[in-house]
Amino acid sequence: MIAGFIWIFFLAGAAINLVILARLDLSRLDFLDGILIGQGYYVMIPLFVFLVEGQSVLPELSLMYRPYDDLPTTALLILGMFLLPTIRMLFPRVRASSADTTDPRVFTTVILLFIVTGLVSFMLTGLAKGGHWQANLEGAFENPAFLPIKYASNVARNAVFAVLLYRVTTGRMTAQRAILFGAALAVLDLLTTFNRITAVYLLLTAMLLMKHRPLRMALVGGASLWALSTFSTMWPAFRGLATAQGYTLSSFAAAWETAQRAQSLRSMTTDAALNGVFESSNLVVLNWIVENYGTTTRPFLSYAMFARPITLLLPGGVWPDRPQNFGLTLGDGIANLPSLALNSTLYGESYANFGWFWPLGLGVFLLMWHAIFRSIAPNARGVQMIGAFAGIAMWRFDASFIGCSALLTAGIVFGLRLLRLSRPKPVRQLYLLPPPLWAAPEPILRKK
């Protein structure tokens, strides 16, 4: 009986989301569109599999989510599937008739920012000399300059796919070239940070570009998801060994061979395959939050979700009790590891802040940042598209990411605007004699 009602509401919510996603105008994507895309990828697909399987287990943390038994979490997820489309329908996108005011230099600026910050952070981690990627990363954070560079790199790896998609929608780049360009950037990021997330952004970009060709989208998406799930299950073993003996091709090859052997010795479970692509473990962590927050030992965080993005760059000495990184708080609370960051989707942080008032808190939070991105450049479609990809990324980060993304986007927009205003204007030629006969005549303005 309960299972039947859950399926009815899930399928109804999924249908509403899919109808809106199918009618997306790629040239006018904005922050709220990105939130819907992220929900479809990081919530709807994993929840569907969990409903079919009946449970999901995260053995490393001894956590479990059973959708038919853990009804508060299931109700929260399904309620969100109705809440977010409603917000989208109530607040429109940039008008189709409005002229696009995107500065054409945004594309080059974002690409260069991605490459420069990625390479600089790579050099600061010292991975070029070898070592374990996680240990090197923790050592790099001792350098005060590393944190802002890493923040900028994290935002730029997300924004590059937005500007690639923007170039395609304006006719300045073909879809094939954009995918190839994005694949090259994803490989560069993979080899310098050992982070897989750029592969997901690339996949989502490709799916959006194939939106009007559903058969091709299904074939490419299915093949990509299979390859990505296989790759993702081997990736933790590979990146742990890849640079242990130095940053060399031989070290990479040996690590990949070891990862393949380890993969062949164990069967790939549904949970492992799903988590490698969709980070489905985030829903299991969300269930822990619903079960444990709102008690005397873990009270609700109230305003922290709003304060965290604003106080991100504030020194700890100025506000010692400022809200902490929510992912690190979860790592400490669940696994007693203060350095472990766990994700729980947007819903996890919303519930931890406001309890069952989370729809109101999350709605205000999303509309606030939607308005901020619109205020940065209201009619610049490329800028709004960066906001859309920031909305996608919000499902796997804590609230601080959106503040960093908005700050960097505003810096790019206003920095380019200042450069344009400060550029010296050409001096008009002064004629000491009447202009030559072949000179173009001045236009004659006629009164209507």
- Residue 280: inside a domain, yes or no? yes
Q: Is residue 437 part of a domain?
A: no
Range 279-282, long-range pairs (CB < 8 A, 24+ positions): 279/42, 279/343, 279/396, 280/46, 280/49, 280/50, 280/56, 281/56, 281/58, 281/343, 282/42, 282/46, 282/343, 282/344, 282/345, 282/348, 282/395, 282/396
The verdict on residue 81 lying in a domain is yes
In a domain, 433, yes or no: no
Task: Please tell me the total count of domains within the chain.
Answer: 1
- Whether 166 is covered by a domain: the verdict is yes
Residue 294 exposure: Cα atoms within 13 Å on the Cβ side: 14
Whether 73 and 288 have beta carbons less than 8 Å apart is answered as no
Q: Does residue 431 lie in a domain region? A: no
Question: Which residues of the chain, if any, have pLDDT below 50?
Answer: 430-433, 436-440, 442, 444-448
430 assigned to some structural domain: no
Q: For residue 363, what are the domain limits?
A: 2-421
Q: pLDDT at position 274, please?
A: 83
Say what the pLDDT of residue 352 is.
95
Task: Give the per-residue pLDDT at 164.
Answer: 96
Question: Has residue 399 been placed in a domain?
Answer: yes
The C-alpha angle with vertex 403 and arms to 110 and 156, in degrees rounded to 5, equals 20
